[in-house]
Structure 1
Amino acid sequence: MGIQQREQALELSRELDSLPEQEAFERFFARIRDTEIPFYPCIHAADPLGMFRESFDALYILGRTVAFPMAIGLTMHLYMMSALAAAPLPSEVPLVKKRGRILRDLRQRRLLVAVASPAGRIGHRDEPSGDVVVEVRDGGYVARGRKAIQSMVSQADLLVFSAQVEGHGFGLFLARLRGEPALRQGPRVFSGPMACTDTRPLDFEELRLEEDHVLSLGPSQCDPLLTYAHAWFHALVSAVYLGGASRALEEARKFGRTVCLPDGRPVAGLDGFQMDVGRLVLELQTAVRQALSFGPEVARLTPADLPALSELEDLGAQIKYRATLTAEKLVGDARRLIGTRAMAADHPVGRLSGQILFGPLHPWVSAIVEREQGRAALGPGEYLGLPAG
C-alpha cells in the first residue's frame, strides 16, 4: 500500500476512534466517500494485486478502531466491486461489456454498493435456494421475495443481488437501492457491538429490472463470477478481523509499558510477558502473511483458469478460517494479559471481545469448511496435503 493511501486510512481511523460508536458510524459514511478507499477496484481494475493489497491494508487499519463493524460492511462493497472489476470472464458474460462504465460511474459519483448474500451456497458445492425470484415480464424482469442479510443497507446507493430467474436458473443483478420504493428495508438484524454493520433484511416488492441491470445469467456465467467473488470476500473480511486482533495486541503492549510492578519496573520488562507477547506477534504475522498470499494468486488468473477457480475459493476459505481463529485467540489472550480492566465497556479489548466472535460465522462458516476438508481427506486415495498445481 502506498504511503498516501495508507495515510488516508490512518487519518480516518484516528478521527473515528475518538468518537462514540453511533457518531463514528455517521462520520464514517460521511467521510469514506471522500477517500479513495471504496474505489480501489475502480482505480486498479487492471491490477488485481494492487487492488487486493490496498483494500486489505485499508480494511486492516479500519478494523483496529471503533469502525470495526463499519469496515465489515465496507468489505461487502469492496469484495463485490473487486470481483466485478477483475473477474477473468469470457466476452459473452454481460458484465464484461458493462464493467468499464459501472466502475467509472461508481468512482465519479462516489457510490457505495450493498451485497445481498445468497441464501444457499453458490457454484461447485450446492445449488442456491430461491429466496428472491425473478420473473421475465414485458421485455424485462420483475424481482420479488426477501433477502435476509445484507450489510450497509441504509447507507448504500446500489445493490448487487442474486436470484432464481425464470428460464435461466440463476442470475446476478445490479440495481438502484437508495430511494427505490420497491426495496423495503427492515430493522437492523444485530444489536450490541455489531449493530453498526447496518445489517438488515430487504423485501423485494415487484422490483422492475431491465437488461442493463443484468450482470450474468445462468449457471455457466454465474458460477465462475460468484466463486471468484466469494474468494475475494474470504480474503478481504480476514483483514478486518486481523486488524482487530492487532489492536488487541497493541493494547497489551501499552499495558505492559505503562503498568508497573511494586518495585517500579514496567510489566513489559518481565521475560514471561515478553514471551507471551512474542507468541501473539508470531501468530498474528503468520496469519497476515497467509492472507496476503491471496494477492499473487488472484493476479495470475486468466479466462483460461476458470475451471480452477474452486482452488482460489478454497484458498480464500482457508485464509478466513485461519485468520478468524487467530483473531479470536489473540483477543482472548490479550484480555488475559491485561486483566479485568480489558472487560470495561469503553475498553477497546472489551469491545473487540464481542465483535471478534462473528468471524467464523461469516459464510462459509467454519463448521462447513471443516466438514468439507475432512470429507475430502477421508476419501479412498492417499492424502498428501499439498495444494493443487
Structure 2
Amino acid sequence: MKNIITANGHPKAKDELKQVCKVLIEVEKTKDYPKFYSFLKTTKVPFISCYEKDVRKVYQESFRVLHRIGEVSIPVSVALSMHYYVLASFASYPFSKTSTVYWKREVLLNKIKKEGLLIANTGSVRTYKDASGNTKIMAKKENDSYIINGKAPFMSLAGIADYLVFTAELSEGSNAVFFIPSNNNSIVFEDSVFGDTMQGSFTKSVTFENLNVPSSNVIQLDQSEQERCEILVYQRSWFQALVPAPYLGAAYRVILQLKEFSGKKIKNGKTLSESERFSDTVGDLMIKYKAACQLCEQAGVLLEDFRVSNKSSLEKLFEASVVAKHFSTHYAEEIVNQTRSLMGTRFLTPGSITNKVYKEIVFGALQPMTDTDIRDYFGKQLMYKKI
C-alpha cells in the first residue's frame, strides 16, 4: 500500500519534480531564488489543483511535492505551501454550480493554469493582536470596485508571486476574499523580522494604500454566517494539513544524514551503525516520522470526506488537521534535536544541511495555529462542549 510520501503521481509530474529539485539544489548554492521560482512556473508542479479534481489525490500530490522540496529547503517549501493550500482549498471547495462564485473560480483557475501564476496570501489569524499600530485590512465599496487599506504582517512569496490573495473586512462587518495582481504601486512590501533565517521564502509584510480592486476580482463571504465560517475553516484545514510537509521533509533529510554519518563513524573497531543502541535510537526517530506522516494522511482522507453544511465532517476535518500540524511539527523538531545530540559538533558544521535545518525547523510549531491556540481550542472543547 502506497503511503502519502511514496504515492506515485503522473510520470511526467515525477520527472518535473525531480528537475525542480535539481534546480533548487543549485540555487541553494547561489541564493538566486528568483531564478528558481521563474523555472518552477514553467512546470506543472505548482498547479496540481488545476489539473486534478480528486481532492485526496490533490492533497497527496501536494504533500509529496512539499515534502520533497522541504528535503532541500524549508523556506522555499514553506513559501510554496502557502500557494498550495490557497489554490487547493479554493479549487476543491464544493461551491454550487448555480452560484456566481463557482464560475468566478473556474475562470480564475483557468487563468492560473494557462499563465502559470504563483499565489501569495496574507496568512492565518495570529494568537496575539499587534499593538504596534498595524491596522487590519479594510475594504470600502465605491461604485463597481473596492478601495483597500491596511497592513498584514506576514506574507510568504511576497514580491515573487504573480497574484495576492487576502481577506478584508467590509464596512458593514462582513468579509470578502480579494484576488489581485501583485505589480501594483498601491501595494508596499517590507522585509519581515526573519532576515536570512528563512531566506528563499520571501516572507514580508504587505501594506495596502488605497488599492482599487474591481468587483470581478472579489468573492464575497456574506451570503450566510454558516457558509462564511465553513469556507474559512475549510481553508485553514488545508493549511494545517499541508504545512507539516516542509518540516517533515527536512527531518527526513536529517535522518538520512545521520545514516550516512553512522556508517563512517568508528568507535572500538565498529561503526556507529553496528551498535544495537544506535539502531534503537534511529528506530525511535523513524517512529516519530512515520506517525507524523500517518496523521497528515488521515487529514487528507477527511478533506475528501468533507460535505457542505455537515458540521460534523467539518469539525472532524479541522481537528484532524490541527492534530497533524501540532504533532508533525513537534516531531520534526525532536528528530532534528535528537540527531544533533548523536552527531555532535559535526551536525553544526557551517554550511551543512544539518546546521541549516537546525535553525529553520523551529518555525513549524510557531506557525498558526500556535501551541497556545491549539491548547486553548481543545481545552474549551472539553470544558464547554456537551459530551
Task: Answer yes or no: is 1:246 the counterpart of 2:252.
Answer: yes
Q: Which residue does 2:131 correspond to in 1? A: none
Contact 2:120 2:165 (C-alpha < 8 Å) held by counterparts = yes
Deviates more, 1:55-64 or 1:80-89: 80-89
Which of 275, 296, 314 lines up with 2:280 in the alignment?
Answer: 275
Task: Answer yes or no: is 1:71 the counterpart of 2:70.
Answer: no
TM-score, structure 1 as length reference: 0.89
Counterpart of 2:65, as a letter, is: A
Residues of 2 paired with 1:149 and 1:63: CA distance?
A: 20
Residues of 1 paired with 2:104 and 2:92: CA distance?
A: 12
Contact 1:75 1:237 (C-alpha < 8 Å) held by counterparts = yes
Which of 190, 199, 210 lines up with 2:194 in the alignment?
Answer: 190
* Unmatched segments (≥5 aa) in structure 1: 122-128, 383-389
Counterpart of 1:105, as a letter, is: K
* Equivalent position SS for 1:135: strand
Task: Answer yes or no: is 1:147 the counterpart of 2:155.
Answer: no
Contact 1:73 1:198 (C-alpha < 8 Å) held by counterparts = yes
Q: Where do 1:206-245 residues align within 5 Å?
A: 206-218=210-222, 219-245=225-251
- TM superposition shift of 1:371: 2.1
Which of 373, 376, 387 lines up with 1:371 in the alignment?
Answer: 376
Deviates more, 1:202-211 or 1:301-310: 301-310
Q: Deviations over 1:284-326 (max 9, x none)?
A: 0111111111222111223243664233122111100010010
Residues of 2 paired with 1:51 and 1:159: CA distance?
A: 22
Residues of 2 paired with 1:335 and 1:9: CA distance?
A: 29
Q: Which residue does 1:116 correspond to in 2? A: 122
Q: Where do 1:78-227 residues align within 5 Å?
A: 78-90=84-96, 94-119=100-125, 131-177=136-182, 179-218=183-222, 219-227=225-233
Which of 322, 326, 330 lines up with 1:321 in the alignment?
Answer: 326
* Equivalent position SS for 2:191: coil
* Equivalent position SS for 1:160: strand
Q: Which residue does 1:290 correspond to in 2? A: 295
Contact 2:85 2:238 (C-alpha < 8 Å) held by counterparts = yes
Relative to 1, partners in 2 of residues 1:143 and 1:251: Cα closer, same or farther, differing over 3 Å? same
Q: Which residue does 2:3 correspond to in 1? A: none
* Equivalent position SS for 2:148: strand
- TM superposition shift of 1:99: 1.4
Which of 259, 266, 271 lines up with 1:260 in the alignment?
Answer: 266
Identity of counterpart residues, as a percentage?
22
* Equivalent position SS for 2:41: helix
Relative to 1, partners in 2 of residues 1:220 and 1:183: Cα closer, same or farther, differing over 3 Å? farther
Q: Which residue does 1:58 correspond to in 2? A: 65
Residues of 1 paired with 2:377 and 2:305: CA distance?
A: 26
Q: Deviations over 1:78-102 (max 9, x none)?
A: 0000011001234576431211111
Contact 2:126 2:368 (C-alpha < 8 Å) held by counterparts = no
Relative to 1, partners in 2 of residues 1:164 and 1:118: Cα closer, same or farther, differing over 3 Å? farther
Relative to 1, partners in 2 of residues 1:350 and 1:200: Cα closer, same or farther, differing over 3 Å? same
Alpha carbon RMSD of aligned pairs, Å? 2.1
- TM superposition shift of 1:31: 1.8
Task: Answer yes or no: is 1:348 the counterpart of 2:353.
Answer: yes
Aligned pairs, number: 371
* Equivalent position SS for 1:327: helix
Deviates more, 1:10-19 or 1:211-220: 10-19
Residues of 2 paired with 1:347 and 1:120: CA distance?
A: 32
